[in-house]
Amino acid sequence: MKWEGRRGSGNIEDRRGMGMGVGLPLGGGIGGVVLLLIISVLTGTNPLDYVGSPNAPSSTGMSGVPDNDPQAQFIAVVLADTEETWSEIFQQAGRSYEPPVLVLFEGATQSGCGVGRSEVGPFYCPADQRVYLDLSFFRDLDQRFGAPGDFAQAYVVAHEVGHHIQTVLGTSEKVAQGRSSANPADANALSVRMKLQADCYAGVWGRRAAQRGLLEAGDAEEGLNAAASIGDDRLQRMGQGQVAPESFTHGSSAQRVQWLRRGLDDGSPDACDTFSSAAR
């Protein structure tokens, strides 16, 4: 990706090095990530349900990132570009876009959805409208999941921003209401549709970023590979040696690739209706 020299977002809260004094019962590293994701896909629950109870949203502190931290600078550029994309889209619809704050942390941090830990991977909290990211996840994405590349990392950020779009548009609330009254199978299906739509929204950003000259040859393939690497079926095979589609909460590898590609090909959020009968 051609990101050097581009504007970085000011909506970054850098909590790295602050510490919380909170123990990590599952241990650090990708093992904990896989275990929590497997628990999630088997039970149909939010991984954050296992890592803390709800608390008040944390205070805002947009401190930016150090100049000598290229990975954090890269994330800031990606976040800024998502802001440009969604500001344009919202403006065309006669609305203004309020972007999320992205919180960089190490190990564990407080969020409006409870104590967020690096074991759950990157996540978005609708209660405080923040994206939470431990940069060590990208090492795991590369080395354990086999999804290297800067656009693979950018896809992860854009996916979480996609959940912010769902919150702003009211989709998240509707899905939460539907899940609360649904049987486990239907609740899982709604969760899958939610995640796939965020993948599609990430593709919408990717298409428009390419039009602005941010992407290079092979970048889209890096994102699609990342989407395939974190499908529920692949995670279940890694964790238990078999696949249980009825317990999916994020979508299969094929589904995640399909919807990311749709966003990349179309470039419009109108193409991302994963909830319609035609998308099932």
* Confidence grade of residue 25 (pLDDT, cut at 50, 70, 90): very low
What is the rounded CA–CA span in Å between residue 85 and residue 157?
14
**Domain hosting residue 197, numbered range:** 12-279
* pLDDT 10s digits, 212-240: 999 999 999 999 998 888 777 666 666 66
Q: Would 262 be classed as within a structural domain?
A: yes
- Dihedral sign, Cα of residue 228, residue 80, residue 84, residue 129: positive
CATH number of the CATH domain containing 194: 3.40.390
The count of structural domains within the chain is: 1
pTM over 0.75, yes/no: yes
Given a contact cutoff of 8 angstroms between Cβ atoms, the answer to whether 187 and 179 are in contact is yes
Q: How far is the C-alpha of 7 from the C-alpha of 200, rounded, in Å?
A: 24
* pLDDT mean over 249-273: 92
The answer to whether 126 and 157 have CB atoms below 8 angstroms apart is no
Q: Say if 1 falls within a structural domain.
A: no
Gyration radius from the chain CA atoms: 17
Give 129's pLDDT tier (boundaries 50, 70, 90): very high
**Cα separation values, 135 from 101, 132, 190, 230, 268, Å:** 16, 10, 29, 17, 29
**pLDDT on residue 229:** 82
- Residue 102 and residue 154 in contact, taking contact as beta carbons nearer than 8 Å: no
pLDDT for 53: 38
In a domain, 42, yes or no: yes
| Of 253, 251, 247, the residue nearest 279 (C-alpha) | 251
The verdict on residue 244 lying in a domain is yes
SS3 128: coil
Confirm whether 189 is domain-assigned.
Answer: yes
Q: How confident is the model at residue 28 (pLDDT cuts 50, 70, 90)?
A: very low
- At 34 the pLDDT is 53
